[in-house]
């Protein structure tokens, strides 16, 4: 099947060939992946590009092991959630409050210049939150768009004390310039432009305490919900005071739309501290492959605890798993 590559792909490929550094090459390769048509004819090319990205990333990490943060930030934990917003919205304060990371926190803009990760705990898993430089039109670092595309979800932060609806519109416009859309609803085929990436997202209205003092919190949060038309959830918090942070942990987990599945060997208890992380809708066969790449083909059946079924019931490889299921694989 022909690949039918687009002009945008060949432009990115040209930038890759002209790139002098690993970071520039990775950015170009990420762009090639983003604009590549999605069909069977490009499967082998996609795999080749991902191998090149992995190799260049490993080289970059070895060279920059002593740097504060790598431009190509590897994912850790159950998922990677990147925080975006305008200057002084409180992104660094949130990461400092909800993780053990120590980004620079100040009451003036542009204190964050690099990608700064921290691990947020949710029950028995950890989710990586990444503090990013503020979105400022015309001065967005070259490495930011690929990071946003690679993330599992975006956390969009606005300041409830400073025209939050205008901030959300500005952020949305800047994301559109990067060909990044938010929410689950994708454009109709006739409207779809090559190279667009659609990301799961959560909108956070920060500085809720100040907005409540001013009596504007309810109206501002509702205006944000109206703007999203129900496609993206909205939550009010105070990163400084800690208000709403427990709700935020749960909401991030829900937005990621992932499940936790546990394995056990016959006659033993499951390890409930080390779940397999899968996309919602994954099957027993998907879980077997995650345990070991050969298990999917060799799997005969499994016994299942959870999903509202009798304990230890036998299920087949196409059984759809749910969060909290325990499986005993038989090959």
The mean pLDDT value for 79-96 works out to: 93
Q: What are the tens digits of pLDDT across the range 195-253?
A: 788 999 999 999 999 999 999 999 999 999 999 888 899 999 999 999 999 999 999 99
What is the DSSP track for 2-39?
Answer: -----HHHHHHHHHHHH--SHHHHHHHHHHHHHHS--S
pLDDT at 33: 84
Helix (H) or strand (E) holding 64: none
Give the rounded distance of the alpha carbon of 322 from its chain centre. 21
Over residues 34-44, the mean pLDDT reads 80
Share of the chain above pLDDT 70, in %: 87
pLDDT class for 71, splitting at 50, 70, 90? low
On average, the pLDDT of the chain sits at: 85
Output 36 or 275, whichever has higher pLDDT: 275
pLDDT of 74 higher than 60:
yes
Which is more confidently placed, 163 or 300?
A: 163
What confidence tier does 20 reach under pLDDT thresholds 50, 70, 90? confident
Q: How far apart are CA 320 and CA 304, in angstroms?
A: 11
Q: What residues does each domain of the chain span? A: 7-63, 80-256, 258-330
Class of residue 203 by CB neighbours under 10 A (exposed 0-12, middle 13-18, buried 19+): buried
pLDDT of 159 higher than 90: yes
Whether the model clears a pTM of 0.85, i.e. scores above it, the answer is: no
Mean pLDDT of 106-130: 78
> What is the CATH T-level fold of the domain 80-256, as seen in this structure?
Rossmann fold (3.40.50)
Residue 120 burial class via C-beta count within 10 angstroms: exposed 0-12, middle 13-18, buried 19 and up = buried
Rg of the Cα atoms in the chain: 22
pLDDT at residue 169 tops 70: yes
Better pLDDT: 190 or 141: 141
Topology of domain 258-330 in CATH is Ubiquitin-like (UB roll) (3.10.20)
Residue 119, SS3 per DSSP:
strand
Q: Are strands 153-159 and 197-206 parallel, antiparallel or unpaired?
A: parallel
Q: Is the predicted pLDDT of residue 8 greater than 90, yes or no? A: no
Q: Is the pLDDT of residue 92 over 70?
A: yes
Tell whether the model's pLDDT for residue 115 goes beyond 60. Answer: yes
Band of the pLDDT at 62, cuts 50, 70, 90? low
Torsion angle of the four alpha carbons 227, 229, 233, 234, in this order, in degrees rounded to the nearest 10: 30
């Amino acid at each position: 099947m022909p690949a039918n590559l687009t002009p945008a792909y060949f432009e990115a490929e040209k930038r890759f060939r002209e790139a002098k550094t690993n970071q520039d090459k990775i950015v170009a390769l990420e762009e090639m992946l983003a604009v590549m048509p999605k069909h069977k004819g490009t499967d082998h090319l996609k795999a080749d590009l991902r191998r090149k990205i992995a190799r260049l990333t490993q080289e970059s990490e070895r060279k920059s092991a002593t740097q504060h943060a790598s431009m190509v930030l590897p994912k850790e934990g159950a998922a990677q959630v990147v925080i975006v917003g305008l200057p002084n919205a409180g992104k660094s304060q949130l990461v400092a409050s909800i993780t053990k990371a120590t980004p620079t926190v100040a009451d003036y803009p542009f204190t964050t210049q690099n990608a700064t990760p921290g691990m947020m705990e949710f029950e028995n898993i950890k989710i990586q939150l990444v503090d990013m430089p503020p979105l400022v039109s015309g001065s967005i670092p070259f490495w930011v768009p690929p990071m946003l595309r690679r993330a599992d979800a975006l956390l969009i932060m606005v300041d409830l004390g400073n025209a939050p609806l205008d901030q959300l519109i500005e952020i949305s416009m800047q994301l559109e310039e990067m060909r990044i859309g938010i929410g689950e609803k994708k454009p109709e085929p006739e409207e779809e432009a090559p190279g667009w990436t659609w990301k799961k997202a959560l909108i956070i209205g920060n500085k809720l305490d100040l907005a409540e003092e001013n009596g504007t919190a309810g109206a501002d949060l509702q205006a944000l919900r109206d703007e999203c038309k129900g496609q993206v959830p909205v939550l009010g918090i105070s990163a400084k005071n800690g208000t709403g942070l427990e709700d935020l942990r749960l909401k991030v987990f829900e937005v990621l739309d992932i499940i936790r599945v546990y394995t056990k060997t016959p006659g033993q208890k499951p390890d409930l501290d080390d779940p397999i992380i899968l996309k919602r809708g994954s099957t027993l066969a998907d879980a077997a492959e995650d345990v070991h790449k050969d298990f999917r083909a060799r799997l005969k059946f499994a016994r299942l605890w959870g999903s509202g079924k009798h304990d230890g019931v036998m299920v087949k490889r196409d059984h759809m798993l749910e969060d909290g299921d325990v499986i005993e694989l038989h090959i």
